[in-house]
Structure 1
Amino acid sequence: MKIAVIGGSGFVGTRLISLLKQDSACEVCNIDIQQSPVHANITRIANVLDTKALREHLTGSDVVVLLAAEHRDDVTPVSLYYDVNVEGMRSTLQAMEYNKIKRLVFTSSVAIYGLDKQEPDELAPTDPFNDYGKSKWQAEQVLQAWYADHPDWNINIVRPTVIFGEGNRGNVFNLLRQIASGRFMMIGKGHNQKSMSYIGNITAFVEFLIKEKISGYNVYNYGDKPDFTTADLVYHTGMILNRKIPAIHIPYWLGMLGGYGFDLLARVTGRKLNISSVRVKKFCAVTKYNSEKAMCSGFVPPYPLQDGLKRMLLEEFSAKK
């Protein structure tokens, strides 16, 4: 099986390609605008918006995994979300059709549901609150329209919750680094539940979709269970690292006020700061999602969630590290 990963030079793509390469029956290539620090020998440099280049690099492939996305919450200009996430989908589909490739795995996001929802499943209404979520939902709508005209295709969509793991430098890493440093302040009470996906499990699920879900149009939320609260993350971090984590709480309104202050500072200085009103809002929101469909699909996560958290904390923040 020849698998083309578009956007595989990042955190998720690097781990996914490493996993797929363990199977001698799989031949993998990476197509990315940036060179892969790990898989340079199989990387082809191309922009997801360059349909001509995609046509060339997808030649002979059986399956495409589309990971390429603008996903940070401080991307400027915001039009980049729609250029890469939506128009990149159109370019990919056109290049696939040109090469007669009929199988696609696409990583969307639970951001399409919005914040503070009641554990939405795959049939829940969409209500994205930011441009990232809106662009991911628009990309899915492009796929829906495409499938209506190409019913013989196999399309698998996975909507992951926030992904974490060793080597990640996203929001979960920043949160755990603050907790582990002992300079952490809880905004609000910390009772909000947060669905999370360990990197070793989400990549294994994508591999499962490639090998097992070979027909139809399938959509899956993905999040490892049970869901932790923010207070749970503080507790487990202290236990795993054997550190006393101070329990300092500040009111939500004060945290948001500080976030708006950092927004203003970022606008004035032109710098991208680690604190913003959007990140405060996401930190305090309930982001719990139903992933029962994925867990009943025949897939078995190789790592319990707490083990994944332990692996990351010990790798990144242990005293020896």
Structure 2
Amino acid sequence: MKIILIGGSGFVGTRLIDKLLKIPDVEVLNIDKKKSEKYPQLTRIGNVMDWQTLAHHSKGGDVVVLLAAEHRDDISPVSLYYDINVEGMRNTLKAMEANNIKRLVFTSSVAVYGLDKDNPNEDAAIAPFNDYGKSKWQAEQVLHVWHRNHPDWDINIIRPTVIFGEGNRGNVYNLLKQIASGKFMMIGKGNNKKSMSYIGNVVAFIWFLIVRGKTGYQVYNYVDKPDFTTNDLVHHTGQILGKKIPTVRIPYWLGMLGGYGFDVLASITRKKLNISSVRVKKFCAVTQFSSSKAMASGFVPPYTMEEGLRNMLENEF
């Protein structure tokens, strides 16, 4: 089996390649706009805005895993979300069709549901609150129309929640770094639940869908349970690292006021800052999602949430 990763030079792609290379009779090729630091020999330079280059490099592939995305919440101009996430999907499908590849695994996002929802499953209302979520939903709609016209294709969509793990430098890493430093500032009460996904389980689920996924058009949330509150994360971090974590608490309104101040500062300096009103809002929101469909598929996560958190904390801090 030859597996083509598109956008596999980042965190998820690198860990997925780690896993795939251990599996007999699997060939892996990564197409990305930048070389993979760990696997440059497996990488071919290509951009999702150029379908002909994608088609050239993906010849002979059996399955495509589309990971390429603009996902930071401070991308400018916002049109880049739609160029990469939506037009990039169209170009990927065009390249696949040129090579008669009819199997796709696409990483979308739970951002399509919006914030503060009541544990939505895959049938819940779609209400993205930012351009990232809107562009991911539009990419899914492109896929839905495509499958209606190509019913012999097998398409699996994964909507993961925030992914954490060793080597990640995203929002969870920054949060755990602050907690571990002993200089953590809690905005709000900290009782809001946060669905999270450990990287070892996410890549295992992608492989599960490649070899055992249902045919046709399938959509899966991916979340590892149980859902931790921010207070839980503080408690587990202190317990794993063997230290008492002092926590300064400030009210939500004051945190949002500070976030707006950083928005103004970022606009004046034209710099991307780690604090913004959007990030404060996301930090304090309930981001809890159902993963019952994925867990009913026969997939068994190889790691518990506690094991994943321990692996990351002991490796990073």
AA in 1 matched with 2:264: L
Whole-angstrom distance in 2 between the partners of 1:97 and 1:50: 14
Whole-angstrom distance in 1 between the partners of 2:247 and 2:183: 10
Are 1:53 and 2:53 counterparts? yes
Spell out the pairing of 1:270-281 with structure 2 (5 A cutoff).
270-281=270-281
- Residue 67 of structure 2 is matched in structure 1 by 67
SS of the residue 2:264 aligns to: helix
AA in 2 matched with 1:131: D
- Residue 84 of structure 1 is matched in structure 2 by 84
Which ranges in structure 2 are unaligned for 5 or more consecutive residues? none
- Residue 235 of structure 2 is matched in structure 1 by 235
- Residue 114 of structure 2 is matched in structure 1 by 114
Determine if contact 1:103/1:214 at 8 Å carries over to the other structure: no
Determine if contact 2:113/2:125 at 8 Å carries over to the other structure: yes
Using the size of structure 1 for normalisation, the TM-score is: 0.98
SS of the residue 2:267 aligns to: helix
SS of the residue 2:293 aligns to: helix
AA in 1 matched with 2:265: L
- Residue 191 of structure 1 is matched in structure 2 by 191
Determine if contact 2:121/2:290 at 8 Å carries over to the other structure: yes
Determine if contact 2:183/2:247 at 8 Å carries over to the other structure: no
* Count of aligned residue pairs for this structure pair: 317
Give 1:247 shift: 2.5
- Residue 262 of structure 2 is matched in structure 1 by 262
AA in 2 matched with 1:17: I
Are 1:15 and 2:15 counterparts? yes
Deviations 1:250-273 (A, max 9, x none): 000000000000000000001110
- Residue 157 of structure 1 is matched in structure 2 by 157
Which ranges in structure 1 are unaligned for 5 or more consecutive residues? none
- Residue 253 of structure 1 is matched in structure 2 by 253
- Residue 215 of structure 2 is matched in structure 1 by 215
AA in 2 matched with 1:106: F
AA in 1 matched with 2:57: H
Give 1:214 shift: 5.1
| Root-mean-square deviation (Å) | 0.6
Whole-angstrom distance in 2 between the partners of 1:72 and 1:155: 25
- Residue 299 of structure 1 is matched in structure 2 by 299
Deviations 1:17-48 (A, max 9, x none): 11011112111100000100111111000111
SS of the residue 2:91 aligns to: helix
- Residue 169 of structure 2 is matched in structure 1 by 169
Name which of structure 1's ranges 206-215 and 94-103 shifts more when overlaid on structure 2: 206-215
Are 1:33 and 2:33 counterparts? yes
- Residue 314 of structure 2 is matched in structure 1 by 314
Determine if contact 2:89/2:142 at 8 Å carries over to the other structure: yes
Whole-angstrom distance in 2 between the partners of 1:70 and 1:113: 18
AA in 1 matched with 2:289: Y
Q: Which runs of 4+ in 1 moved over 4 A?
A: none
Determine if contact 2:122/2:219 at 8 Å carries over to the other structure: yes
AA in 1 matched with 2:189: K
AA in 1 matched with 2:58: L
Determine if contact 1:8/1:32 at 8 Å carries over to the other structure: yes
Determine if contact 1:256/1:280 at 8 Å carries over to the other structure: yes
Whole-angstrom distance in 1 between the partners of 2:149 and 2:21: 33
Give 1:248 shift: 1.6
Using the size of structure 2 for normalisation, the TM-score is: 0.99
Identity among equivalent positions (%) equals 70
SS of the residue 1:105 aligns to: strand
Whole-angstrom distance in 2 between the partners of 1:242 and 1:279: 29
AA in 1 matched with 2:127: D
